[in-house]
Each structure stands twice: as structure tokens, then as C-alpha cells.
Amino acid sequence: MNTNSPSDENEPNQKKSGLFRRIKSVFARKNEKKHNAEKIVESLEKVSEELETNKREMLYKVASFDKLTVGDVMVPRADILAVEIDTNLGELARIMAKHQHSRLPIYRDSLDNPLGFVHVKDVLELLAPDENGKVEAVFSELPLSKIGRELVYVPLSMRLPNLLLQMRALRCHMALVVDEYGGTDGLITIEDLVEEIVGDIDDEHDDEEAPLIVERAPNIWEADAKLDLAEFQELTSIDLNLENMEDEIDTLGGLAFALAGRVPPRGEIIKHPNGFELEILDADPRSIKRILLRSAPQAA
């Protein structure tokens, strides 16, 4: 026998309807001076207990999405995988298979002279025989220019919602980020935009990445060079910012560059003015990958 009163049974629905009324009201008041995103955040704070954590986080990300620019989420130039226009299709196929990318920018001489991009679908179509059972030519010798597609170019300052609308209108999944002089600053894909809302999307080809930071022992951390100094300070309560350079250095890797005055090689130990040591665990000629941070040994 059901002993619940009608008011008890309707309580969950009343909560839900109340939640959606409050969120809906945010969008209805368009003439107010506050941005809609700020109103959404205010409403979410009022109803946060009624939402599951993951749903609440996603709604917060949606609310903040229109504040982000291309420069906030792009892949930096140093991390772009691209191919020279003189690359033949045989080598291109090997690169795509190794790195599991479906699209790659094409350039001549440097990334500041981009010529377009290639799609793996076009590579596969050239592998298919014609109706007579013959392939058009020796695949490995075909020029890359045969299948190049036109790239979309966007500025660093473009807002993510505007980029998403542009990508949808042009039916493109990748854009090259350029500066005011036409130089290449980075790369952004539609997956980067989606991940800003739903979080990282791993597929079957993604390797498990090392964590951004791991505490190996008391006062000893191993960290990714891309870790923000602000995040490192938040996690460890240690301020590694250099005086008068707070606005110029964002990451641990940038800190190591600044302290060394060059790209430090693997194994080099760099001393910080506050007594900490930065040991380069992994690096290549252009960038630092991982760093070991520890407090300097105390003098006997």
C-alpha cells in the first residue's frame, strides 16, 4: 500500500521544474546588463545541490564557454604535427598510421607558409582500385599536392562560440591559428572545442598520459613542463614565480627556460632563487617535456 501523499510524490518533479524555471529565467531576461554566462553561474550556485557533480561541472563549462578564446585552447605551434608539401603519399600514410591523425596541415619550408591540409579519407580513396581493378599510379610516388584541401584560418582572439559556428557553417573540423602578421601560432580542432565542455575525449588509439604532477617523496615532485605555475602553487603551496616576471612565465617549462636562458638539455639541474632545484628529466632540442622539482639539500 502506498502511504505517500500526492505532495510527497510530486516533490522530485517540483524540484526539477523549479530548477529548469530558474535556468530558463536566466535566458529570458536579455535586456539586463549582465552577461548571460554570469547569470547562468549565479543560477547554478542556487541550485547546485540539486545537480549531480558531473552535470553541474558541465553546465559551469557551458556558462564559461563564451568567455574563452582560440588562444586559450589551441595546440601551440611547437606541438603541431604537419607535413612538407614535397612529402609523397607513401610517407604520409606512414606518418598518419604512426601518430593516428586523420588530418594534417601541409606547409612549404615552414609552418608560416601553410598550403592546406590532407585528410586520411583522400589517402584511402587513392588506394582503392578503379573499376578495372587498377590503382591510378604507384601510390608511394604520388605527390601530396594531389589531395590537398583548403585550410581555415582564425585569429587568436576569436571567441570559441564564434569559431564553433564558423566550423559548423564551413563543415570543417580543423583551423590554423594565425597572428596579426600572418604567422602560425597554433592549431585548433572541433574536438578541442567539445572537450572544453565535456572534458577530455579518449579514443581507442590514445595512450595513457603521464599525470601532470606526482609527488615522489616529501618536497620532491615530478611534473609535466606544461603545468601552470599557478596550478603548481595551488597543489604544493610553493610559489616559483620570478620577481618582475609573473606576467611573462606561465608554465614550469617556461620557468626552466627563463632560469637557464636557453633550452636546457636532459639531466641539467637548474637552481631557483628560492632554493628549489629543477632537474630536466626529458627534453628535445626545442622543448622541455618533464621536470623533477625538489628543495635544495640542506647544508650540514
Tens of pLDDT along 142-191?
A: 677 778 889 999 999 999 999 999 999 999 899 999 988 889 999 999 88
Tell me the pLDDT tens digit for each residue of 180-220.
888 999 999 988 888 887 776 665 555 556 678 999 888 89
User: 270: which 3 cell numbers?
Assistant: 637548474
Identify the band that residue 27 occupies on the pLDDT scale cut at 50, 70 and 90. very low
Q: Which domains does the chain have, with CATH numbers?
A: 13-67 (no CATH), 72-198 (3.10.580.10), 213-295 (3.30.465.10)
**Between 300 and 158, residue with greater pLDDT:** 158
- Nearest 5°: the CA angle 109, 140, 104 is 45
Rounded Cα distance between 238 and 235, Å, is 8
47 class by beta-carbon count within 10 Å (0-12 exposed, 13-18 middle, 19+ buried): middle
Task: Tell whether the torsion through CA atoms of 251, 253, 254 and 260 is positive or negative.
Answer: positive
Tell me the pLDDT tens digit for each residue of 57-116.
777 777 778 888 998 889 888 889 999 998 888 888 888 888 888 899 999 999 999 999
8-state DSSP, 211:
P
CB 148: neighbour CB atoms within 10 A?
17
